[in-house]
Amino acid sequence: MFQRHPVQHSATMFITTNTKDRHPIFGQPACAREAIEAMYRVQIFNPFFLHGFVIMPDHCHFLVTVPEPGSISRIMQSYKRAVSFGISLGPIWQSRFHQKIPTKPEKVLQYIHQNPVKAGLCKNPDDYPWSSASGKWDVMDLDVW
């Protein structure tokens, strides 16, 4: 069977997933909160290390490491299903997600945290509540893994 994402585990991965037609669903605070809480619920049944994230109005970025025998495809499928169910808006996602294996994960984490600043949603990364930069959410330090 053809796998769009041949690397499924054991590497630190930069994941991006977009809402259908780039609709700004997560511009609503309740939906953004659900997107974060769903990630932690999925993590219980499909273990992975979450190093950082940001929930933008129309897309999400995650920096994760999936230990063996986990699968990033399974995690993202569960995540998208959980968010869709949690906010009860029907199909909200583009069908695929993008995966990259960064050579410098710390630079990717900076990019993730700067995303809301570049979009004009806040002045400082730690001011944006729907990001690991805010300090409100539990994430695994890159140096530990």
Number of domains in the chain: 1
Residue 59 belongs to a domain: yes
Does 95 fall in a domain? Answer: yes
Q: CATH number of the domain that 33 lies in?
A: 3.30.70.1290
Say what the pLDDT of residue 1 is.
Answer: 32
Any domain includes 102: yes
pTM of the full structure: 0.90
- Tell me what pLDDT residue 145 has: 44
Q: Using one digit for the tens of pLDDT, what is the confidence trace for 51-83?
A: 999 999 999 999 999 998 889 999 999 999 999
Supply the pLDDT for residue 96: 92
Cα–Cα distance, 117 to 54 (Å, whole number): 11
Q: Is the pLDDT of residue 5 over 60?
A: no
Helix (H, G, I), strand (E, B) or coil at 99: strand
Please indicate, yes or no, if residue 142 is contained in any of the structural domains: no
Q: Each residue of 34-50: pLDDT tens digit?
A: 999 999 999 999 999 99
Mean pLDDT over all residues of the chain? Answer: 90
Range of the domain at 63: 12-134
| Identity of the amino acid at 70 | G
pLDDT at 139: 72
Q: Would residue 144 count as lying in a domain?
A: no
